[in-house]
A and B are shown apart, each in its own frame.
Chain A
Amino acid sequence: MPRLVSHPDEVKIISRRFGLGATDIGKYIELDGYKAVQAAISKGPEWIISEMKASGLRGRGGAGFPTGMKWSFVPKQSEKAKYVLVNGDESEPGTCKDHLIFLYDPHAVIEGTMIAGIAIGAKMGFIYLRGEYRYLLKIMEKAVADAYAKGFLGKNIFGSGVDFDIVTQTGAGAYEVGEESALMESLEGKRGVPRIKPPFPAVVGLYGGPTVINNVETIASVPHILLMSGEAYAKVGSERNGGTRLFGISGHVERPGVYELPMGYNLKKAIYDVAGGVRGGKKLKAVVPGGSSTPVLTADEIDVGLDFDQMGKAGTMLGSGGIVVLDETVCMVEFALRTIKFYQHESCGWCIPCREGTDWLKKSITRLHEGGAVDKDIDNIRYLAENMLGRTFCPLGDAAAMPTIGFVQKFRKEFEDHLNGRGCPYKHSLEREEALV
């Protein structure tokens, strides 16, 4: 069972019901649950969207697109039915925040989905969890059934004359399905390969209808924003980055866990103060700041604010909020290899630069790690990765290339130390057996 952690610097908005028994609908209602959706019904779509815009909430899946703006792109009139799709395919290595939202506050996901539906004029919402989250699906299924039993879902919700239905389901194991267009394909019962954009889902999405797709954390933030006002939410965060975020700090820290910190919180403080610093008094070597696809930061680059803009300026990305901390014992080539193996395994094969690129990168870095590489291989790895950027339908190709470029750029010395038959010079405890099939 995931352990809950706490720190005085946390601002608990989205996590404020964690551990309080809010999976029970009665308890959720007692803790201000289903108030925001009633306000949304009485005040209407324009009010919801203006509050969302004022909140400065940006997509918590990783791309950081302003949520209010995304919702406003959905056409008001549409011949085809509109949908809300909640992305709970959480698969970016280093990320386990949505896991906790499903576990501790499932009704917030339902309520947020309903509000999104009211805002865009959808009558149906889908909550898609990754296949591994079966026990969390059961929690969601129960929450949805309880909401139907109370009359909160179904026909004429809260006497509004509006109908709203929610269907929950899981996938069956595929990182790529976390990409929004592949997610729609999967929900339509197909292989999870991406669609070309445009058209964007807000115009042509699920079953050809206008669709809003939001990450679980984004959706679960929505009721809180309406309750506290968009303006108040925005003030909690930093400039152009409203509110708080669930940061999952994992790896070599004393107190790993998911912490809710204001946007813009300093990364160094998050590691040293909040998560208790590097485990066992070892030295910090590197930090992967926002899930495995975000370019690595070295130990002296971490004095930076955790928001989309400041992380961008620092040459990396805020990503999914999954901060992976690496101490001095980690071989960065081996770490780069494990990262690229993942992307090679998960590339859906639709676009050639990604399918072939991830495979070649895996082969090249494997050879380098084992000591079979020569000087120019290091530049070749970088050249190959750079030529994958921007050449695929979806961002998986970039997600594989960007961290690879980062590892070569910032830890070139470690790559060079592996050259000329030397192999891995680091005495490491990680036994490498056969590659993933």
Chain B
Amino acid sequence: MATEKTTIFSPELAARFDKLVTLYPVRRSALVPMLLYAQDEVGYISTAVIAEVAERIGIRENDVQSVLSYYSMLRTKPAGKYNVQVCTNISCMVCDGYKILEHCKKRLGIGHKEVTSDGLFSLEEVECIGACCWAPAIQINYDFYDELTPEKMDQILDDYKAGRGKETV
């Protein structure tokens, strides 16, 4: 439906959304994945994203807002190109997860949910990411790094800065 109209998404993503809404018994089931994929492309959930997603599914923008505000991975303002998410939950906490977080804060010069001035990195203290046996662990965007030390952390950040980081989308 929306393909004939103007879309704010890339042709690939628009085509993907066209298919996504048909996979489920009800179109609305595609909402959470659509928001996440839209965020991956646009960088955050903008009002334009909300409007188009609402139209594609056939629900009110209010309903999209309500769902959006519930999920911690969805954001309404841009993060850095590389969003560094440091787990400090129990297994990581007792394996120096907070040291990793402090190290990242110092190294990047930003705090929780802040973005570096060049827009390259943002930092987030997150809840358990399901890598407890390989603690301390982080994610950069969707990629996991585990059994970290401050030295390994430096190497990872250097790699991303030099454009050599992994980028699972």
Q: Could you tell me which A residues sit within 8 Å of B by CB distance?
A: 1-3, 81, 90-96, 98-99, 124, 130-135, 138, 167, 169-175, 186-192, 207, 248-252, 256-258, 288, 292, 322, 324, 326-327, 330, 335, 338-339, 342, 345-346, 348, 429-434, 436-437
Contacts and interface: CB of A to CB of B under 8 A. Distances in A.
B47 to A, nearest CB: 18
Interface of B: 23-26, 28-33, 35-36, 57, 59, 66-67, 70-74, 88-91, 93-96, 98-99, 101-102, 105, 111-113, 125, 127-135, 139, 142-144, 146-147, 168-169
B74 A172 contact: yes
A434 B35 CA distance: 29
B156 to A, nearest CB: 14
Given A171-B32, A189-B31, A191-B70, A250 B91 contact: yes
Nearest to B89: A93
B66 A132 contact: no
Contacts of A81: 25
Contacts of A167: 23-24
Contact of B26 (A96, A133, A188, A322): A188
A338 B93 contact: yes
A374 to B, nearest CB: 27
Contacts of B132: 93-96, 248, 250, 322, 324
A436 B127 contact: yes
B36 A348 contact: no
Contact of A2 (B113, B128, B131, B143): B131
B67 A324 contact: no
A238 B26 CA distance: 43
Contact of B143 (A98, A135, A170, A330): A135
Contacts of A134: 142, 168-169
Nearest to A174: B71
Nearest to A186: B32
Nearest to B23: A167
B161 to A, nearest CB: 22
Given A167-B24, A430-B93, A433-B101, A135 B142 contact: yes
Nearest to A207: B25
B90 A339 contact: yes
B137 to A, nearest CB: 9
A277 to B, nearest CB: 15
Contacts of A131: 36, 71, 73
B130 A189 contact: no
Contact of B29 (A187, A248, A257, A288): A187
Contacts of A322: 91, 132
A322 B92 CA distance: 13
22 contacts: A2-B133, A3-B134, A91-B130, A93-B90, A132-B73, A134-B142, A135-B168, A171-B32, A174-B71, A175-B128, A190-B28, A191-B70, A207-B25, A248-B132, A250-B91, A250-B133, A324-B132, A335-B90, A338-B89, A339-B90, A342-B90, A437-B112
A228 to B, nearest CB: 27
B39 to A, nearest CB: 8
Contact of B111 (A207, A251, A327, A434): A434
Nearest to B105: A433
A345 B126 CA distance: 10
Nearest to B87: A93
A167 B112 CA distance: 35
A431 B99 contact: yes
B67 A2 contact: no
Listed from nearest, the 6 A-B pairs whose CB atoms lie closest are: A173-B73, A189-B31, A189-B28, A172-B71, A173-B72, A134-B142
Contacts of A3: 134, 147
A323 to B, nearest CB: 10
Contacts of B135: 250-251, 256
